[in-house]
Amino acid sequence: MGIPEKIKQIEEEMARTQINKATERHLGLLRAKKAKLQRELEEQTLRATGKASGDDGYAVKKTGDATVVLIGLPSVGKSTILNQITNAKSKTGAYDFTTLTVVPGLMEYRGAKIQILDLPGIIAGAAQGKGLGKRVLSVARAADLVLITLDVFQPGVKPLLFKELREIGIRPDEKPPNIVIEKTSTGGLSVICQVPLTRMKKETVKDILAVYGIHNARVMIREDINDEQLLDVLLGNRHYVSTFAVLNKIDMIDKESLRKVRESLDYYVLPIAAESGINIDEFREQLYQKLQFIRIYMRPKGGETDYKEPLIARAGYTVGDVCDMLHKALRSEFKYAQVWGKSVRFGGQKVSLQHKLLDEDVLTFVTK
């Protein structure tokens, strides 16, 4: 039996199984098996088609300080937005699928260079290959932020877009689950939960680990996870990314209708009209804020601080991350760093690679 048939068999069994307390454990196991098979299938297709090489017009080199990817239904105005906020000229048109490849643009704002990627529209079923499908969605893996682009006349499709993104392994607006799995050579499975698990059973954790061939390990669960989150950790290759939603073409409706549309949504949207430029300055500002840039001023050892051209990093970056941004070899030559600014108690404090930096810190590297 091939992998697709095996998946089908499991799906049929899942459909037959009633959901209740007694079958919970069995269903968890089935989901784990299905996820594992799906992963195998994906790897198989990648090998067969060579798509992993990505030389099909969908491979884009990341440049700048952050990458934003435009995701939305066809004709919502993605290309118009790109053209409005960057130097790019992406074709626009009053028909679906005007854009057929990835079109990059660069937005410079407050000293940060933000790469924006325009894409073909996504339709329901894209993750299964509908429309231009999977490869388009995959580009969002390169994103530091996904820009969910909505049309005033179809404002409620954010959940649909999220569903498509999730199906190809992207986890919009989620954090990596707080689970640590330390494999051991003997001793069986010990599962330690630091918080009570309300969404799955401890036994299911063990069942699922066994499906993945893990029989000896120490597992530390630090948050109330569900089985999907455990699978995410086991499967790896998940991309956790935050999103920002804009509601485009607000010039087409009056104020009162706009108010009603926004009220009907249970998520925040920034209203804009890309074509005529309504609210575009605010849009740039919010995009910049959402990317959580921090500015790091470099000071050579014994020299003057360069306040003119800060290094643009992101919130949560450590001294080690900044090493990687500057030079591949810097990490191995690193002795210690000195920091002046909000992240330290006193100016010139010695810090290690793990030290987290804050906006406007001054940083000096001392190498071996």
Ligand X SMILES: Nc1nc2c(ncn2[C@@H]2O[C@H](COP(=O)(O)OP(=O)(O)OP(=O)(O)O)[C@@H](O)[C@H]2O)c(=O)[nH]1
Q: Of the ranges 71-79, 184-192, 203-211, 334-342, which one interacts with Mg ion (CB under 5 A)? A: 71-79
Task: Tell whether residue 127 is a contact of ligand X (CB under 6 A).
Answer: no
Question: Smallest gap, in angstroms, from Cβ of residue 147 to ligand X?
Answer: 11
86 makes contact with ligand X (CB under 6 A): no
What character string, x for contact with Mg ion (CB under 5 A) and - otherwise, covers 226-245? --------------------
Q: Is 75 in the site for ligand X (CB under 6 A)?
A: yes
Q: Which two tokens stand for residue 36?
A: 């594992």
Report helix, strand and coil shares of the chain as percent, to nearest 5: 35, 25, 40
The reply to whether 273 sits near ligand X by the rule CB under 6 A is yes
Q: Record the tokens describing residue 63, joined without a space.
A: 């440049």
The Cα–Cα gap between 281 and 287 comes to 10
Residue 153 sits in the site that holds ligand X (CB under 6 A)? no
Judged by CB under 6 A, which of 248, 279, 338, 364 binds ligand X? 248
The answer to whether residue 67 forms part of the interface with ligand X (CB under 6 A) is no
Query: Of the candidates 228, 275, 321, 360, which one interacts with ligand X according to CB under 6 A?
Result: 275
Among 9, 38, 98, 318, binds Mg ion (CB under 5 A): 98
The smaller minimum CB distance to Mg ion, of residues 117 and 211, is found at 117
> Does residue 101 interact with Mg ion by CB under 5 A?
no
Q: Is 248 exposed, middle or buried (0-12, 13-18, 19+ CB in 10 A)?
A: buried
> Which residue of 96, 167, 359, 360 would you call a contact of ligand X, by CB under 6 A?
96
Choose the binding region for ligand X from 94-102, 133-141, 203-211, 284-292 (rule: CB under 6 A).
94-102
Q: What region does 133 belong to: left with phi over 0, alpha with psi -120 to 50, or beta?
A: left
HSE-up of residue 234 (Cα within 13 Å, Cβ side): 25
Does 252 help bind ligand X (rule: CB under 6 A)? yes
Report the amino acid identity of residue 134.
K
Total site size for ligand X, rule CB under 6 A: 24
Q: Is residue 79 part of the contact set for Mg ion (CB under 5 A)?
A: yes
Residue 366 interacting entry, from ligand X, Mg ion, none, C-beta within 5 to 8 Å by type: none
CB of 252 to ligand X, least distance (A): 5
Closest contact distance (angstroms) between CB of 124 and Mg ion is 18
Quote the least distance from Cβ 135 to Mg ion, whole Å: 16
**CA end-to-end span of the chain, whole Å?**
58
* Stretch touching ligand X by CB under 6 A, among 67-75, 101-109, 204-212, 219-227: 67-75
Contact pick of 78, 171, 238, 295 for ligand X (by CB under 6 A): 78
Q: What angle (nearest 5°) sits at the alpha carbon of residue 119, between those of residues 158 and 127?
A: 55
Regarding 254 and contact with ligand X (CB under 6 A), the answer is: no
Kindly indicate which of the ranges 32-40, 96-104, 214-222, 304-312 contains the residues binding ligand X, using the contact rule CB under 6 A. Answer: 96-104
Closer of 124 and 298 to ligand X (Cβ): 124
E runs forming strands in the chain = 66-72, 103-109, 112-118, 145-151, 170-172, 179-183, 189-193, 217-221, 239-248, 270-271, 293-298, 311-314, 334-340, 349-351, 361-367
Question: In this complex, which beta carbon is closest to ligand X, that of residue 146 or of residue 344?
Answer: 146
Cβ-contact 70, 107 below 8 angstroms: no
Helices (H), 77-139: 78-85, 133-139
b/e 279-301 (16+ beta carbons within 10 angstroms → b): beeebbebbbebbbbbbbbbbee
How many other CB atoms sit within 10 Å of the CB of residue 197? 16
DSSP bridge partners of 19: none
- In angstroms, the CA 7 to CA 41 distance is 10
The smaller minimum CB distance to ligand X, of residues 71 and 294, is found at 71
In the bound state with ligand X, the residue whose beta carbon lies nearer, of 206 and 249, is 249
| Site residues (vs ligand X, CB under 6 A) | 72, 74-80, 92-94, 96-99, 120-121, 248-249, 251-252, 273-275
| Site residues (vs Mg ion, CB under 5 A) | 78-79, 98-99
